[in-house]
Structure 1
Amino acid sequence: MKLRRVVAQNLRRLRRKSSLSQEELADRAGLNRNYIGMIEREENSPTVDALEQISEALGVDPVVLFQDR
């Protein structure tokens, strides 16, 4: 599986598990809601900085975003 898909699926799963909308997650991470949506739809590859911000907003280790499930 491509890494972009793994990150997208993990991001969506973790966001939903936290009961957050894309907008709520984006606000917590200091990112644009459209950017979060584009990552989840595999339309955009997140930067390392964005992954760090997202993982902090979700309260998870960044490595979790890369784990193939």
Structure 2
Amino acid sequence: MDIVKVFGTNVKRYRQAMGISQEAFAEKCGLHRTYISAIECFRRSISLENIQRIADALEIDTYKLFMEE
């Protein structure tokens, strides 16, 4: 399992299910749009603090971001 790919894929999937753009989502998280883009394109590792911010913005339990389909 490539955890960076699993995480990035899940962030994108949940964000799109909410129907919001990367820019709107980044604002909701308090992060920059390019940071969200880098996560979704598997180019960025991420801190625990930012993982929690993303999960909170997606309104899901954090562990769901690490589950493979």
Q: Shared topology, TM-score over 0.5?
A: yes
Deviations 1:8-41 (Å, cap 9, x if unpaired)? 1100100000001111111001001100000000
TM-score, normalised via structure 1 length: 0.96
Runs (5+) with no aligned partner, structure 1: none
After TM superposition, the runs of 4+ consecutive aligned structure 1 residues lying more than 4 A away are none
Runs (5+) with no aligned partner, structure 2: none
Deviations 1:22-64 (Å, cap 9, x if unpaired)? 1111100100110000000001011111110011001001101
Give 1:25's aligned residue.
25
Local SS of the residue matching 2:46: coil
TM-score, normalised via structure 2 length: 0.96
Aligned-residue sequence identity (percent) comes to 33
Counterparts of 2:15 and 2:3, CA distance in 1: 18
Counterparts of 1:64 and 1:23, CA distance in 2: 22
Matched, 1:3 2:8: no
Report how many residues are paired: 69
Give 1:14's aligned residue.
14
Give 1:61's aligned residue.
61
